[in-house]
Structure 1
Amino acid sequence: MTTAEHLDTIDRLRARAFPAGREASGEYGGGPGHHLVGLSRTRDFWEDDGSGREEAADQINAEYGALVQALTDRWGAPQVFALDSLLYRQFDGEEIPEPWQELCGSTDHVHLWRAEDRWLLVCVTQWDKELPFLLTAGVTVVDPP
Structure 2
Amino acid sequence: MNIARHVALVDELCYRPFPAEYGPSDVGFEGPGHHVAVLEGEGGPVDGPAGWAVAVERLEKDRDALYAALAARWGEVDPWNLRTVLLRTAREEIPEPWAWLSARAGVAWLWEVRGTGRWAAVAVTGRDPGDVPQLVAVVTETVPP
TM-score normalised per structure 2: 0.87
Task: State the match for 2:58 in structure 1.
Answer: 59
Taking the TM superposition and a 5 Å limit, the aligned residue runs for 1:100-111 are 100-111=98-109
- C-alpha RMSD of the superposition: 1.9
Task: State the match for 1:91 in structure 2.
Answer: 90
Q: Identity rate of aligned residues, in percent?
A: 36
Task: State the match for 2:20 in structure 1.
Answer: 20
Task: State the match for 1:123 in structure 2.
Answer: 123
CA distance in 1, matches of 2:18, 2:25: 15
Matched position secondary structure for 1:15:
coil
Q: Could you report, residue by residue, the CA deviation over 1:61-101 in whole angstroms, capped at 9, with x for unpaired residues?
A: 22111100000111111242212122222222x11100101
CA distance in 2, matches of 1:89, 1:54: 27
CA distance in 1, matches of 2:70, 2:82: 20
Gaps of 5+ in 2: none
TM-aligned CA distance change 1:53 to 1:127, over 3 Å: closer
Taking the TM superposition and a 5 Å limit, the aligned residue runs for 1:126-141 are 126=126, 128-141=128-141
CA distance in 2, matches of 1:127, 1:20: 30
Q: Alpha-carbon deviation of 1:29?
A: 1.5
TM-aligned CA distance change 1:144 to 1:96, over 3 Å: same
TM-score normalised per structure 1: 0.87
CA distance in 2, matches of 1:49, 1:118: 37
Equivalences, count = 143
CA distance in 1, matches of 2:106, 2:60: 14
Gaps of 5+ in 1: none
Comparing 36-45 and 12-21, the one that deviates more:
36-45
Q: Could you report, residue by residue, the CA deviation over 1:33-69 in whole angstroms, capped at 9, with x for unpaired residues?
A: 11111100025446x2433233222221221111000
- Could you tell me whether the CA contact under 8 Å between 1:79 and 1:113 is conserved in 2? no
- Could you tell me whether the CA contact under 8 Å between 1:107 and 1:125 is conserved in 2? yes
- Could you tell me whether the CA contact under 8 Å between 1:10 and 1:139 is conserved in 2? yes
CA distance in 2, matches of 1:27, 1:125: 16
- Could you tell me whether the CA contact under 8 Å between 2:82 and 2:107 is conserved in 1? yes
